[in-house]
Every structure is written in structure tokens, then in C-alpha cells.
Amino acid sequence: MTLNSQITLRTAVILPFILIFLCAFGVITMVQDANYEEMAKDISRKQLSALRHNVELELDSFLYKPLQASLVLSHSIELHRLYQTHDVSAIQSAMLSKFSQLYNSVSQLDNVGFGGKAGEYVGLRKETADNYSLMLQDNLHHQGLVIYQTHEVSNNIRSVIKNYDPRLRPWYKPLAGTEEPRWSAIYANADERQEVTLSSIAPVHYNNELQGVVVADVKLSTFNDFLSQQQNSSGAIIYLFDETKRLIAHSTGGSIISWGTEHSLKGQRLLTSESSNAVIQSSADYTNSHPLPTENLLFTSNVEGERYFHLITPYTDHNGLSWYIGVAISEHGLLGKMLESQQNSWAMGLLISGIGIVIGLFAFNRVVMPITSTANAAKQLAQGNWDSELPKPGNIYETSMLVRAFNDMADSLKASFEEISFQLLYDSLTKLYSREGLVKTCGKFEQLNGCLVLIGINKFRHINDSMGHLSGDQLLVIIAERIKATFAEEALLARIGGDEFAVYFPQPQSNQDVSLAVGRIQQMFASPYNMGKENVIIQASLGIVQDLDSADMTTWLRNGSIALSNAKQEQASVSHYKPEMADISRNKTRMLAKIKQAIEEQEFVPYYQPIVDIQSGEVIGAEALARWLSPTDGLISPLEFISIAEESGFISAIGRQILSKACHDTVEGIEQGKWSHDFHLHVNLSVNQLAHTDLIFELETILEESKLPANNLTLEITESRLVDNDPVTIRNMQAIRDLGIQIAIDDFGTGYSSLAYLHKLPFDCLKIDRTFINKLDIQNLENSIVAAVINMTQGMKVDIVAEGIETTEQAELLKQLHCPQGQGFLYSRPVPFEEWPTDLVNMKS
């Protein structure tokens, strides 16, 4: 799992919790909502039905009385045959008495009239209570329809309507030919008020003839009052409309007559869709896309964000009415507080859950805090910040357990860290600082301007090898103690390598101080060290660093090492660091890289210097001397690379190349007849090579490859380097001779070798170093070292070669001493194989 896809423990715990909460909340909401819906539907149906029922009852009684009035009047006229052509006065008085007695209190009934078959009209119109206007058209007057101010004919006339013919009115026409009373269509009145009117009409029949029609007008606007009363008490909007969807009455106030829109003609009743009330409009939207119901039609609509429940039911009666009652109520009006309290309870629930979650988070944080602070502390520890604050256990069992366990672990880690850093900073053997310890301790100083002395024990490896490692360690401890006893007060002391110690004086030291310190150190090694049974004399070399412009002890130590190795090489025992030394050692490093490449490129070749029989001057052999033919630097002398190659171990590879080429050359020389069959090939062998275990195998391989007989080959080993009497070395020398190869001791006399020790070595030839040849003169010829060596080896069956013969005098003296063989510039300088034979003019005598 990558870090990105990880979630926090908090999320892992809280998230499912919140999800469950949301699910539960959602389900409850859904169920509640469904219940609520169900209930809302149920309540709305009941409420609306009840309302409609009220309206229906009211409407029944509203319409019943006018209908009753027209029937009563028509019956009365029929019964008493009150109608005489051109005389409606009998009807007039009957009408007046009925109206004033029976119908005065019927507010919706405001007009009762009779139209005769000959075009007469008599009617009473209610103006105020007990005050009627008489409307009359008979033949007596011939003026048209006259409307009087009172119920009597007088000069007090309100208005006159010319050319009025009742038989053409909408309430007369439908009844022509029928005998049943019925409702007229809704129309606007012909009088000056032009009110929306519905008339109950009843025919007057006798003599098998329609005599006329009684009409009782219902002022529909009065029904609006009832409806708006209902709206006030129930909050419901109620409206009546007919089959053409034109409004008849409504509870919302305002006229139902169009005052001129694009759709409706002026004076016409409004369509429900034209109502000024948005709720009625919304129901019209619905009924326009759905058929009008034969029974109940329930639906809902949305008006201005509020939901309305609608009920539309047909309203019919036996007298030809086919209307519809529409009732609509808003959700608020219906359920009122319930809706709000429902919403409030949701809000409350949400609020409580929110608070719950916050408290939960808070509590959870408290729980998690020890874990997070433990993690942080662990991070600090990982960064090596050992002094960072450890987490505190909280109040929870498990996390406290974790924190305590962590703190225990951190404590023991801290302890082992301290232990390790102690081990790192101090040398376990001598209890002095280690190299790191010295560097770290000096890192705390602002600047380093004191003096550093490195003490290197000479030939410590030799001591270790001959006395054993335990004794070696013991010796180091004793040396450390001597150093401590001498300098503990004034200097920092460290063991910086196997056999190297460092003494750093932090205070600036004068030259005198330094030589004083050097003297005290040399004093430490002036007397032998007592190691149990033995007393051991040891020597030390000193490398001194002063006035170094570096605040870094590592640099001081590196320069100290350079000075120390310089001291060892020069056998000067004390060496002060100089920047040039660094150059030398840097050159060495560069040289090493070059040598390594030169080995790969096979740039090392042998040059041959003849070895001659001094007596006869005959060439009996040659010494192969390494030359480096560098394509960039030209011919390089072995003096420049042999010692570096020996230090680094590259000498083996170089030696192998030289030996192999020399063997091949010799075989070729013999084959060419250039060299005799018993030609002595001398090749130098480094002690490094001699210490190698697989040297013998390599020699065998080379001899085999080159086909050079072993007894043609002599290996030269420098005598002074042989002092370490390493068992492998001696064994290898033996094995070399067993192969049939001869061994020559090179540079004999330069080492400290005693002649007694020489007897232990297996060898076939001694090469006397050229320093002794140089010193030869006639006066003390017999006492010369050359003479001593020749005498000493008489009867030992070894060859003697005098090296470095440069003059004929030297050659002459050696002849007198019976030195058998010689080598030197007198005869020839070393030359490449191809240039052989050389000019050997001086030899033959």
C-alpha cells in the first residue's frame, strides 16, 4: 500500500460511523416522508371532500329557493289564469305579494319576472330590503320596458329599455315547447347592471298553450360571499366552473367577467385558466391536459414553492345544471404546524447528530493523541533526535500500554545508542579516543590551531607476527598508558590505527614546546618494554602537523599520516608536515592509476644487461631489467615505479610481464643462435612476489609456455628485503630451487644480514652491490669486502657477480681477486632485445 492510499485511523473509524448515520438518517427520512405523504394525501382527501360537501349543500340550498320561487309563481299564474293578453297587472300584484312575503329574505334572489307570449313583461327587482323596482312592458304604455323607482307605476322612472322582447331573452327561448321548469344558461342581465345571472325558469301552461315564462334570477355574485367565507375559515380556495371551464363563482374575490383579453371577448366569463388566482390557474393547467371528472378528481400542483392539493367534483341537479366544484388547499393550510414541526424535528435531529459527531471526534482525538505523539516521537528517534520528548500515556488502557512499551523501547534504544556511540568514540583496547572520537571531539572546537603529533610504531607487524596478537595488544595498552601518563593533562589522546597514536595539543605550541614534546615521546621508547619474560625494544616514527589552515580534524589527521609515512620512508623518525608532501603522495596516487593502465596495456618490457665472465670477457648471460615504455611519457626508469608498485602490490603483475617476456626472448635468442644454450637469464623477483602462495604455479606456467629450461633461469632477490623471515618466503625459495631455477641474492651487503644468517638461505649466486665495487682500490684490495665475500664462499658452490663495473681498473682488480662474473656499464648498458648483440669491445682481452 502506498502512502497516498492510506487513510488515518480517525477516518477509518469515523467514516463508517458517518456512513451508517447517513444511511439510517436517509432510511428514516424516506419512511417518514412516505408516511407523511400518505397522511397528507389522506388528510387532504378528507378535508377537501368535507369542504366540497359543504359547498354542495350550500349550493343546493342556494339554488333551491330561486327555483322554488319560479315554480310557485308559475303554478299560481296557471292556477288562477292570471295572464291576460296585454294585461299583466294581476301577475304584477301576485308577484309583489309573493316576493314580499316569501322571498324577501332570499338574498340571492333579486329579480322575479314574467314574460308573456305576446311580448309583455312584468318583473320586480329587489333594490334594498322591502324596496322593489317594477319593470313593466305592456300594451298600455308602448314605451318599451320601463323600470320604475318603486314597485308601482308612476312618473318616477329609473330607465327605459327600448325594443325589449322577453321572448328573445335567453331564459325564455329554451322553454318554448317544454313544460318543465329548468335553469337557464348563465348570461349577463339586460338591465343597466348587467350582472352575471342564472335564471330559474318555469313555463306557464294552460289552454294547451304556453302562456309565458316565469323567471327568477339568481345573482351568482352573492355565492362568492359564501365561498370567501369558507376560504376564510378553512384556508381552502373554492371555485365553481361549468363544462366550458368558465368560472361561475370563486372564493378569491374579484370579478369573473372578462374586461377584455386576447382570448376572451369582453363581457364574457373568465376561463379558469384566465383567473387572476394562480392556484385556480394551476388547476386549469391540470384539467386542460386531463378529462373533466365524472366523480372525484384529486391531484396536486405547485404554486410559488407551495404544494396545493386539489379536488374537482362534478355538480349536477335534475334541472339541467352540469357544473364543477373545485377545491384547493395548500400543504401549509392543510397540515399547518405539522409540516413545520416535521422540518424542525429534522433540523433538530441533524443538529444533535452534528454535535454528536463533534463530540465523537473530540473524544476520538483524545484516544488517538497518544498514538500520534508516539508516532512523532518514533520519527524523532529515527532522525537521531535522542533528546526529543517522549509521549505521555493517556487515560485509555490500550494506548497507555502502547505508549509505555514505546517509552521502554526508546529508553533501551537510547542506552544501546549511547553504548554504540561510546564504542565508536573510544578505542576499546586502550580506552583512548578512537579516530572518530578525536574528530568528533575536535569538531566542538571553534578552530584548530594547536599541534598534532602522530606516533607510528615501527615494524609493529613484525612484533605481532613473532610474539602473537595478544602480546601485541598488551604492548599497545602499555604504550597507551605511557602516552596517557605523559600527556593526559594537556592533550587529547587517540589510537587512530592499529599501531598509530595521535596526541593533539589544543593550545598553540611554540617550536620549543614541540621539540620538547618530541623529546618526551622519544623518551617513552628509550627504555625496553617489559612483556612478561621478554624485554622488547621498539622504535617509533613521528609525524607532526602545525599551523594548518583547517578547522577539520580529518584533514589534520590525513596530513599527519603523510608526515608519518614520510618519516618512516626517510628513516628520519620525525617529520613535520609540509604541503609538498601532499603533492608527493598525490603524485603517487596519480602514478598508481597510470601503472594500473600500463599493466593492462602491457607497457612494461625487459631490457637486457650482459653478465660476463670477468676472466675471458665472454658473455655468459644477461639480467632483465624492467623498463616502462609509456606512449605519453616515453621511457621510464624502474627507480620511478618499482617502489610504488611494491607498496601497492602491482609489482607482481609487472614482474610477471617482465619474466614472461624475458623467458620468451631468451628462447628466441637461443634459437637464433644469438645466445648459447647454457645462457644465464637473470630476472628480478620482488619479496612481495616471493610471499605469494601461488608464485610457484605461475613460474611453472611461464616456463611451460615459453619452453625455457628451468636451469637457464636465475631469480634475483634483494638481500636487505629478506629480513622478515616469513615461512612462506623460505618455503617458496626452496620450491623455486626444486623447480631447477637458481636463486641469486641481489645487492648483497647493503642489508644488515649477518653472514651467519646467510647460511640459512637457499641460494646459488651472490651479487655484490656496486657500492663495494666502487670502493675497490689496489691498496686494501685484500681487505676489501669483495675479497671477504669471495673467500667466505669458497667451496660453497655459488656464483659471484660483481655489480656496477664501470672502469677497466675495476675489472682488472676483480680479475686479481678471482671474481668470476661481472656486470656493468663498462660492458654494456641495458639494451632492448632487438638491439642485442651490443658493443662488447671492452671485454675481450
Interface with Ca ion (CB under 5 A):
684, 716, 746-747, 803
Q: Of the candidates 98, 735, 825, 838, which one interacts with ligand C2E according to CB under 6 A?
A: 825
Q: What are phi and psi of 291, to 5 degrees?
A: -65, 150
Q: Where are the beta strands (DSSP E) in 84-195?
A: 109-116, 121-128, 131-137, 145-148, 157-161, 182-188
What whole-number distance in Å separates Cα of residue 777 and Cα of residue 808? 12
Q: Does 70 bind ligand C2E (CB under 6 A)?
A: no
Give the nearer residue to ligand C2E in terms of CB position, either 82 or 642.
Answer: 642
Give 680's contacts (C-beta < 8 A, 6+ positions apart). 611, 620, 621, 622, 712, 714
Count other C-beta atoms under 10 Å from residue 15's C-beta.
12
Q: List binders of ligand C2E among 590-629 (CB under 6 A).
A: 609, 625-626
470 binds ligand C2E (CB under 6 A): no
Q: Write each residue from 246 to 265 as x if it is in contact with ligand C2E (CB under 6 A), else as -, in one continuous string.
A: --------------------
Among 611, 830, 833, 843, binds ligand C2E (CB under 6 A): 830
Smallest distance from the beta carbon of 819 to Ca ion, in angstroms? 15
Residue 436 contacts ligand C2E per CB under 6 A:
no
Residue 588 corresponds to which cell in the numbers above? Answer: 603517487
Residue 540 contact, options Ca ion, ligand C2E, none, Cβ 5-8 Å cut-off depending on partner type: none
How many residues in total does the chain contain? 845
Choose the binding region for ligand C2E from 68-76, 185-193, 329-337, 632-640 (rule: CB under 6 A): 632-640
Q: Say how far apart CA 706 and CA 754 lie, in whole Å.
A: 37
| Residue number, 127 or 806, with CB nearest to ligand C2E | 806
Using alpha carbons, select from 238, 220, 221 the residue that is nearest to residue 229.
238
The least distance separating ligand C2E from the CB of residue 769, rounded to whole angstroms, comes to 7
Phi, psi of 131 (to 5 degrees): -135, 115
Count of residues in contact with ligand C2E, rule CB under 6 A: 23
Question: What minimum distance in Å lies between the beta carbon of 584 and ligand C2E?
Answer: 20
Vertex 134 angle, CA 129 and 135, to 5°: 135
**How big is the CA angle at 180 (ends 176 and 182), to the nearest 5 degrees?**
85
Q: Where are the alpha helices (DSSP H) in 677-784?
A: 687-690, 695-706, 727-738, 755-758, 770-774
Within a 10 A sphere around the Cβ of 441, how many other Cβ atoms?
Answer: 16
Residue choice 265, 639, 756, 841 for contact with ligand C2E (CB under 6 A): 639
Half-sphere exposure of 124 (CA within 13 A, CB side): 27
- Name residue 635's amino acid: L
Considering the complex, state which of residue 214 and residue 741 has its C-beta at the smaller distance from ligand C2E: 741
Query: In the range 80-119, which residues lie near ligand C2E by CB under 6 A?
Result: none
Query: In whole angstroms, how close is the CB of 625 to Ca ion at the nearest point?
Result: 7
Which of 746, 748, 786, 813 lies at the binding interface for ligand C2E (CB under 6 A)?
Answer: 746
Amino acid at 246: R
Nearest distance, CB of residue 708 and ligand C2E, angstroms: 16
Nearer to Ca ion, 603 or 623 (CB): 623
User: In this chain, which of 47, 137, 684, 706 binds ligand C2E, going by CB under 6 A?
Assistant: 684
Of residues 93, 100, 128, the one with CA closest to residue 114: 93
Piece of 211-219, 261-269, 397-405, 824-832 that binds ligand C2E (CB under 6 A): 824-832
Contacting residue, 804, 811, 817, 821, with ligand C2E by CB under 6 A? 804
The yes or no reply on residue 824 touching ligand C2E (CB under 6 A) is: yes
By beta-carbon proximity to ligand C2E, the closer residue of 210 and 645 is 645
The residue to which cell 333551491 is assigned: 64
Site string for ligand C2E, 705-744 (x = CB under 6 A): -----------x----------------------------
b vs e for 317-326, b when ≥16 Cβ sit within 10 Å of the residue's Cβ?
eeeebebbbb
End-to-end CA distance of the chain: 95
246 sits in the region (left: phi over 0; alpha: psi -120 to 50; else beta) called: beta
Residue with cell 517522549: 390
Nearer CB in complex with Ca ion: 331/803:
803
Separation between Cα atoms, residue 681 and residue 685, nearest integer Å: 13
- Nearer to Ca ion by Cβ, of 331 and 746: the residue is 746
| Closest distance of CB 829 from ligand C2E, Å | 7
Site for ligand C2E, rule CB under 6 A:
609, 625-626, 637-639, 642, 651, 655, 658, 684, 686, 716, 746-747, 770, 804-806, 823-825, 830
